[in-house]
Amino acid sequence: MTATVGAAGPKDCRVSRVETYLVGTRWRNFVFVRVETDDGIHGVGEGTLEWQAKAVEASVFDLARRHVIGRSAFQIERMWQDMFRNEFARGGPVVNSAIGAIEMALWDIVGKAVGRPVYDLLGGRCHERIPAYANAWYGAGADIGAVAEAAAAVAAKGYRGLKFDPFGSSGRDPERREIARAVDMVAAVREAVGEEMEILLDCHGRFSPGSAIEIARLLEPSRIYWFEEPCDPENVGALAKIGRSIKTRLATGERCYTKYHLQALLASGEVSVLQPDIIHVGGILEAKKMAAMADAIYIPVSFHNPFGPVATAAAIQLDACTTNIVMQESFCEYDVPWRFDLLENCPRPVNGGYEIPTRPGLGVDLNLDAVRAHPYDEDAYLPMWGDDWAKRF
């Protein structure tokens, strides 16, 4: 789909066209945005949101028509404020993801226009390389031996850490056998990867505070680096209760969509690692502001990123200029095999981390032939509480 403007404006990178491309994978559709300017520069962004691709796409065009088309790409903050503040029903993941996709593309345009990577426009790089942790590697599901074997293969690639959810279809208060199986699986993974690799556990917001506290304590012998989103994130008091009661770092933030909500989360004093999602908070600059809020109270950041390669490219740019980054989530090697075909210069981890690119903008571009080869899939969905949800590829 496409939104356009008629007559070209002055040659100052005025936005003339916004296009979207929906790319179907087995369990989610990537939402890519391409923004063109009147002087021939274009930028790319990503607005992927779990199972809401069409809604995000519709929002992209609404926002583009109202607030972006015909304006200079250099007015990123002003356009962001218009897209956020002028839309009265704001701050939710659908609209924020649309804003984020457009905002990434605008940064890409500005970087190309001045011949610099995006990180140079946001303070400059402060890291030489970005360590990564692997996710989506554990498709063996409930088979403990197979999961441990897969974990050893991840460790051999040099990642700083690996993340997984060992809790299957467990709900708020799992049965004893479910807890025991998860504890045994984590212990097997620790034995397989050795003592140096970090193990990160994602609970996907499934537990009650009482169950989360009990489980975290049972997992202590396996030396877990962080315990992620143990209960639904809307209740900051419940998260804080868990954080006060466990020894493992509490990680959260992927479903905290604005800096205004983040203030209350950080004020709880119990968050040890913050995980903003660059897409869902509204883009690169907003995520950088949230990282600075965390840095003010000495909390490290690990940007949430289980989505497509444009979001990964944006995350690497932000990682490069974020002082309190700890490691970057990476699905790259455990996603659909054609993921790397979707972009020119597609980000790919090397020895478990990301090199920082020097090309202008985000440093990538859509390969439209590959994008069009994988059209929108209306059946791309992942029922999170099924027994085999981890077998996503």
If asked whether residues 62 and 209 sit together in one domain, one would say: no
Is 67 a known active-site residue? no
User: Strand 2-4 relative to strand 15-24: parallel, antiparallel, unpaired?
Assistant: antiparallel
Structure tokens, 14 = 């005025």
Out of 67, 204, 261, 280, which one is annotated catalytic?
Answer: 204
pLDDT digits (tens, 9 = 90+) for 180-203: 999 999 999 999 999 999 999 999
Asked if residues 126 and 291 have their Cβ atoms less than 8 Å apart, the reply is no
Mean of the per-residue pLDDT values of the chain: 95
pLDDT digits (tens, 9 = 90+) for 255-270: 999 999 999 999 999 9
Domain that holds residue 14: 2-116
Structural domain includes residue 389:
no
Position 130 pLDDT exceeds 90: yes
Please give the pLDDT value at position 5.
52
Instruction: List the one residue out of 306, 302, 217, 300 whose CA is nearest residue 266.
Output: 300
Out of 42, 67, 280, 304, which one is annotated catalytic?
Answer: 304
If asked whether residues 43 and 106 sit together in one domain, one would say: yes
If asked whether residues 31 and 162 sit together in one domain, one would say: no
Asked if residues 135 and 51 have their Cβ atoms less than 8 Å apart, the reply is no
If asked whether residues 51 and 128 sit together in one domain, one would say: no
If asked whether residues 178 and 237 sit together in one domain, one would say: yes
State which of 90, 116, 142 marks the end of a domain: 116
Is 304 a known active-site residue? yes
Please give the pLDDT value at position 6.
46
What's at 234, amino acid-wise?
E
Position 284 pLDDT exceeds 70: yes
If asked whether residues 135 and 278 sit together in one domain, one would say: yes
Task: Tell me the C-alpha distance between 226 and 77, whole Å.
Answer: 34
If asked whether residues 221 and 339 sit together in one domain, one would say: yes
Please give the pLDDT value at position 170.
86
Residue in the structure block whose two tokens are 């691709």? 53
Would you place residue 302 in the very low, low, confident or very high pLDDT band (cuts 50, 70, 90)? Answer: very high
Task: Tell me the C-alpha distance between 122 and 320, whole Å.
Answer: 10
State which of 57, 90, 116 marks the end of a domain: 116
If asked whether residues 249 and 346 sit together in one domain, one would say: yes
Read off the CATH number of the domain in which 73 is found. Answer: 3.30.390.10
State which of 78, 94, 116 marks the end of a domain: 116
Would you place residue 391 in the very low, low, confident or very high pLDDT band (cuts 50, 70, 90)? Answer: low
pLDDT digits (tens, 9 = 90+) for 331-357: 999 999 999 999 999 999 999 999 999
Structural domain includes residue 7:
yes
Position 387 pLDDT exceeds 80: no
Phi, psi of 173 (to 5 degrees): -130, 85
Structural domain includes residue 55:
yes
If asked whether residues 243 and 107 sit together in one domain, one would say: no
Please give the pLDDT value at position 8.
42
Read off the CATH number of the domain in which 180 is found. Answer: 3.20.20.120
If asked whether residues 104 and 242 sit together in one domain, one would say: no
Structural domain includes residue 387:
no
pLDDT digits (tens, 9 = 90+) for 176-186: 999 999 999 99
Q: Indicate the DSSP class of residue 80.
A: H
Would you place residue 142 in the very low, low, confident or very high pLDDT band (cuts 50, 70, 90)? Answer: confident
Position 388 pLDDT exceeds 70: no
Would you place residue 7 in the very low, low, confident or very high pLDDT band (cuts 50, 70, 90)? Answer: very low
Structure tokens, 111 = 């970087």
pLDDT digits (tens, 9 = 90+) for 45-64: 999 999 999 999 999 999 99
For the ranges 327-331, 358-362, 389-393, the lowest mean pLDDT is seen at 389-393
Phi, psi of 265 (to 5 degrees): -65, -45
Please give the pLDDT value at position 4.
54
Asked if residues 390 and 202 have their Cβ atoms less than 8 Å apart, the reply is no
Structural domain includes residue 278:
yes
Interval 96-102 mean pLDDT: 99
More confident residue, 386 or 203: 203
| 3-class SS of residue 378 | coil
Please give the pLDDT value at position 383.
81
Structural domain includes residue 368:
no
Other C-beta atoms within 10 Å of 318: how many?
26
Please give the pLDDT value at position 85.
95
Please give the pLDDT value at position 392.
61
Structural domain includes residue 374:
no
Position 215 pLDDT exceeds 70: yes
If asked whether residues 107 and 137 sit together in one domain, one would say: no
How far does CA 197 lie from the centroid of its chain?
22
Interval 108-115 mean pLDDT: 98
If asked whether residues 89 and 131 sit together in one domain, one would say: no
Structural domain includes residue 343:
yes
**What's the structural domain count of the chain?**
2
How far does CA 195 lie from the centroid of its chain?
27
